Amino acid sequence: MSRYRSTPVHLLGGCNASSDPSRGVCNPNGQVFDTKSKDGFIISCKQWKGEKKLHPVLLINGHSTENYWLPTEPNDLVRTLEEGHETWLLQPRLHPLNPSNNFTIEDIGRFDIPAVINKIRDLHGPLIKIHVVAHCVGGLAIHVALMGSHVSAAHIASLSCTNSSMSAFFYNSNPIILQMSMVILGKNKILPSFKTSKASSRQKLLKTKASNECEVFSGIFGNTFWHDNISPSMHYWLNKQSLPRLPMAGFPHLGKICNAGFIVDSSGKNSYLIHPERMALPTLYISGGRTLLVTPQTTLLATNYMKLHQSGFRHETVVVDGFGHSDLLIGEESYKKIFKQSVKEFL
């Protein structure tokens, strides 16, 4: 079931207007779909139509922050992919526009990702194959979707992940800080990010504890990019405009994944890595060589796992010197060094 709304979308290239409401709401720069997942939660996705009829590409962000659609920058991955692909951007229940007060990373893999893939297949037909590009928590979630059999690999043309895989080796992260943050928040697990936002006493306390970093998210989980890799306009947008609220309900599950070093279910059990047969698809794992938050071991182990269990498919690892975590995607040089040379060539 789907419903549709008009949402401001800036700077990016267009969609073809349609009188058919089943094809979403078209504004001058994009097409927006609101879709109800199987558990009844409303998520959204954006669509940009490419110039050629190649396989569509689904982009899945990391935790809350936007990495693919960057309105302050001259280039981003959405615009790169428009040179040939129809592009979809998932905004799941951990996105600031669709925040849930009660979710796990599993919920995104079980419900949100299947919902948008089903929407794409509804529009293109059941035989369509979709390229998936995922970052950080989004990469964990797509592996949950595939290895949990919530999405069939038969529907996926390829999988590309940045600083993410079915493994999860976090650098300098502290699960105790995550646990303390959740205790401080109490029942309301959606944290207002802006200084001007209304906040409860518990939320104000947590923001004070995290105020040593330029972003509240970074103060809780660790810095996500090297500042010298991103533009001043990008930095301002990240801190002042793009993240009005931070849905934190998924952090306890994320802490269990950090402790295990690989994806586990919400109770901490290894329910996914025992099913390599469900990963019958080509993979590209990219990590930053200037380690931040996630170590290159995350992607190297994933490629070894895939080559061992799915040797009939193409599997590649790329380590990009000079980049850390999200600056792989939001950096000023990302367009040249990652989008064109790695992601676009793999699709």
What is the chain's pLDDT, residue by residue, as a tens digit (347 residues)?
A: 333 333 333 333 333 333 343 444 434 356 899 999 999 999 999 999 877 678 999 999 998 789 999 999 999 999 888 888 999 999 999 998 899 989 999 999 999 999 999 999 999 999 999 999 999 999 999 999 999 999 999 999 999 999 999 987 665 555 566 666 666 666 777 777 655 556 666 655 555 655 544 555 555 666 788 889 999 999 888 877 887 788 888 888 988 998 899 999 999 999 999 999 999 999 999 999 898 878 888 999 999 999 999 999 999 999 999 999 999 999 999 988 888 878 877 88
Single out the residue of 227, 221, 226 nearest to residue 246, CA to CA.
221
What's residue 1's pLDDT?
A: 37
Contact (Cβ atoms closer than 8 angstroms) between residue 99 and residue 190: yes
My answer on whether 105 and 123 are in the same domain is yes
What's residue 189's pLDDT?
A: 72
From 204, 222, 252, give the residue that closes a domain: 252
Q: Which domain holds residue 143?
A: 2-171+259-346
From 252, 275, 301, give the residue that closes a domain: 252
From 252, 287, 320, give the residue that closes a domain: 252
My answer on whether 25 and 161 are in the same domain is yes
State phi, psi for 128 to the nearest 5 degrees.
-65, 140
Length of the chain: 347
My answer on whether 239 and 263 are in the same domain is no
- The structural domain count of the chain equals 2
* Rounded Cα–Cα distance for residues 167 and 34 (Å): 31
* Rounded Cα–Cα distance for residues 204 and 260 (Å): 31
Distances (CA, A) of 222 to 197, 209, 214: 22, 13, 11
What's residue 67's pLDDT?
A: 93
My answer on whether 191 and 78 are in the same domain is no
Enter the tokens of residue 221: 């989980």
My answer on whether 246 and 264 are in the same domain is no
Query: Model pTM?
Result: 0.84
My answer on whether 83 and 59 are in the same domain is yes
What's residue 216's pLDDT?
A: 56
* Rounded Cα–Cα distance for residues 12 and 207 (Å): 33
My answer on whether 199 and 319 are in the same domain is no
My answer on whether 151 and 204 are in the same domain is no
Contact (Cβ atoms closer than 8 angstroms) between residue 229 and residue 285: no
Contact (Cβ atoms closer than 8 angstroms) between residue 77 and residue 225: no
**Helix H or strand E segment including 181:** helix 175-185
Single out the residue of 95, 123, 89 nearest to residue 108, CA to CA.
95
What's residue 224's pLDDT?
A: 82
My answer on whether 54 and 155 are in the same domain is yes
Using the Cα atoms of residue 45, residue 51, residue 54 and residue 59 in order, give the sign of their dihedral: negative
My answer on whether 156 and 27 are in the same domain is yes
